[in-house]
Amino acid sequence: MFCDPDVLLAMTLWFGMGSEQSCLTGTGWARITRLTMLVTGGVFVYFAVLAVLGFRPKDFSRHAIS
C-alpha cells in the first residue's frame, strides 16, 4: 500500500481547519491557537508518514559524493 505524505497532510489540514465562520469571527488568540495547532499537527503527520515509509533524518543530510 502506497501512502503519500502530502495527501495525508492535506487531509489533516482540510479536516482540521474547521468552518470559515469560526476563523473569521474568532478572537485573535483563538485564531493563533488554531493556526498553531494546525501547523504542529501537520508537521507531526508529515514526519510520521515519512517514518512509516522508512525515511530517517540521515536521509535528508547533504553529504558529498565520494
Which residues make Cβ contacts (< 8 Å) with residue 51, sequence separation at least 6?
Answer: none
Judged against a pLDDT cut of 60, whether residue 42 lies above it is answered with: yes
Structural domain that includes position 38:
5-57
Residue 29 lies in a domain: yes
Helix (H) or strand (E) holding 23: helix 20-25
Residue 45 maps to a domain: yes
Q: Residue 40's pLDDT band (boundaries 50, 70, 90)?
A: very high
Is residue 66 in a domain?
A: no
Whether 37 maps to a domain, the answer reads yes
Q: What is the pLDDT of residues 1-36, one digit of tens each?
A: 456 777 888 888 888 888 888 778 888 898 899 889
Does 28 map to a domain? yes
Q: Report yes or no on 64 lying in a domain.
A: no
| Residue 47 pLDDT greater than 60, yes or no | yes
Please state whether the predicted TM-score (pTM) of the whole model is above 0.75. Answer: no
How far apart CA 54 and CA 66 sit, in angstroms, is 24
Tally the domains of the chain.
1
In a domain, 22, yes or no: yes
pLDDT at 48 over 80: yes
